[in-house]
């Protein structure tokens, strides 16, 4: 399973990369806004800065919602760096754009996926990744993890090549559940990734080892 970090914050991306377990990055317009990145040139430069920090796929989302606009934006984003993956929303023109990019060999991430039907369409249109938003589904009292299970099962039935990228991860348990279900990728906040480190017995055990070593060595 690959680990992507879901942020546009360069310090957090560097921290995740320094851990040695990072495979890629996902961003979205809200995450870019949170970092105050605005204007075409600043946006382009920011993606290039991210690509310098991680040697793996970096999802950059289009803002247009019409086919021509998405193609224009997506081609410009893809031309920035070979690791850029064009993130396209699951809407009618988005599906057409996925097919266009796929035929051109441009990698895509189909975002805002909340149902198995949408995931089937994304795979049929040749998306490289499909992003089901599990935390947002949990937020409305359904099970995001069940959707991951359903999509993984359907993709296996037909050997679809689209990778399941579990998004909107809220905690370490989400990551473990997605791993159990065979999601290809999780994209998560740094806090959820680092949350997996923690176990009280590790801390207690380490304290005891160090205390015994100190006692034994005067
Ligand atoms: C996915 O690529 C999105 O950027 C992201 O995971 C959304 O997560 P959120 O629901 O925490 O905003």
CA of 209 to the centre of ligand 1 (A): 40
**Pairing state of beta strands 2-6 and 108-113?**
unpaired
Q: Where are the beta strands (DSSP E) in the chain?
A: 2-6, 24-26, 58-61, 84-89, 108-113, 129-132, 163-166, 185-188
Ligand 1 probe mutation, 5, 25, 28, most atoms within 8 A of CB: 28
* Of the candidates 81, 75, 119, the residue with the CA atom closest to the CA atom of residue 101: 75
Q: Which of 8, 9, 30, 135 to mutate to test the pocket of ligand 1 (most atoms within 8 A of CB)?
A: 135
CA–CA separation, 211 and 218 (whole Å): 11
Structural domain of 83: 2-216
Q: What is the DSSP letter of 126?
A: T
Residues 88 and 74 sit within 8 Å (Cβ to Cβ):
yes
Dist. CA 154–CA 51, nearest whole Å: 32
For residue 72, give the CATH number of its domain.
3.20.20.70
ipTM rounded to 2 decimals: 0.97
130 neighbors 113 (Cβ within 8 angstroms) = yes
- Under a CB-based contact definition with an 8 Å cutoff, are residues 69 and 76 in contact? no
For the entire predicted model, the pTM comes to: 0.96
Q: How confident is the model at residue 218 (pLDDT cuts 50, 70, 90)?
A: confident
pLDDT band at 162 (very low <50, low <70, confident <90, very high): very high
Number of domains in the chain: 1
- pLDDT, tens digit, for every residue of 32-82? 999 999 999 999 999 999 999 999 999 999 999 999 999 999 999 999 999
- Angstrom CA distances, 90 to 26, 94, 197, stand at 16, 6, 34
């Amino acid at each position: 399973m690959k680990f992507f970090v879901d942020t546009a914050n360069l310090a957090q991306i560097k921290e995740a990369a320094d851990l040695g377990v990072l495979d890629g990055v996902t961003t979205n317009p809200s995450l870019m806004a949170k970092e105050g990145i605005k204007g075409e040139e600043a946006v382009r430069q920011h993606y290039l800065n991210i690509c310098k920090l991680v040697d793996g796929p970096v999802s950059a989302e289009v803002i247009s919602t019409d086919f021509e606009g998405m193609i224009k934006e997506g081609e410009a984003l893809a031309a920035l760096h070979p690791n850029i993956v064009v993130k396209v929303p699951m809407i009618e023109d988005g599906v057409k754009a996925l097919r266009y990019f796929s035929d051109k060999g441009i990698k895509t991430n189909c975002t805002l996926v909340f149902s198995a039907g949408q995931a089937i369409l994304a795979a049929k249109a040749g998306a490289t990744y499909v992003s089901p938003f599990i935390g947002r589904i949990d937020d409305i009292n359904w099970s995001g993890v069940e959707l991951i299970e359903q999509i993984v099962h359907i993709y296996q039935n037909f050997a679809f090549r689209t990778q399941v990228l579990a998004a909107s991860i809220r905690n370490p348990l989400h990551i473990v559940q997605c791993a159990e279900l065979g999601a290809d990728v999780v994209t998560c906040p740094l806090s959820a990734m680092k949350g997996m480190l923690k176990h009280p017995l590790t801390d207690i055990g380490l304290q005891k080892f160090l205390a015994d070593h100190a006692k034994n060595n005067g």
